[in-house]
Structure 1
């Protein structure tokens, strides 16, 4: 009963503020304030406020929220442990077995070594094989900018 009274008072105050705003010829703002002011009274009329008040003051409801929170913590904790342990075991098992046994086509995930899979060699200075030559271009750019 108190929650419904408070919501009605908030709506009445909001509508009063909307009327003052409309008096100042700010009609768009007044309409927006009126829309916000009608939300609490609408919640009272639908019964949502009574349900929320009953839930907020019910020890059984709070115990239920605690149980839900505990279940969520267990779920998150087990997922974290599973990711830590499962990732290491899966990598070790995959390395030992060579492929996953539950895969439909294990060869499908392996890269193709045909002619189309090889990158085309670019002619010119970009196709150098020496690692020191690769960095000489970068060094020249840095020297040009004084770095």
Structure 2
């Protein structure tokens, strides 16, 4: 009952301020003030104020809001940790496997030569030369530079 009275008084005061503003030939501002002033009255007429008043003094509702807040904190924390680690466990495992394959491609099985020994070392990787900057060139071309 008190909440409805307060909302009605706020709306009446806001409409009064809008009328004074309109009298001063600031019609756009007066319309905006009137729009804000009508919101509390609309909330009273739709029953939202009664619902909020019932919810504000309900321990069960506050426990529910607390659980929703805790749930949100857990979601946010796990998402932050996941981003810092670089994704989910499955994504990290796939990234490590892709990195391992890119760094050391599978070499053919060494065959035993005449002397019965296998080559001890693989030949060193050849420098790519101009290919080192091909990805950078592609990015620059993409941006028109």
TM-score, with length taken from structure 2: 0.56
List, as ranges, runs of 4+ consecutive aligned residues in structure 1 with deviation greater than 6 Å: none
Number of aligned residue pairs: give it: 99
Which of 66, 89, 95 is the matching residue for 2:93?
Answer: 89
1:1-147 alignment runs, 5 A limit: 1-83=1-83, 84=85, 86=89, 88-95=92-99, 98=101
What runs of 5+ residues in structure 1 fail to find an aligned partner? 100-118, 120-147
1:8-66 per-residue CA deviation (whole Å, 9 max, x = no partner) reads: 00001011111222222333322222221111101110111111222222111111111
For the aligned residues, what is the CA RMSD?
A: 2.5
How far apart, in 2, do the equivalents of 1:76 and 1:29 lie?
40
TM-score, with length taken from structure 1: 0.56
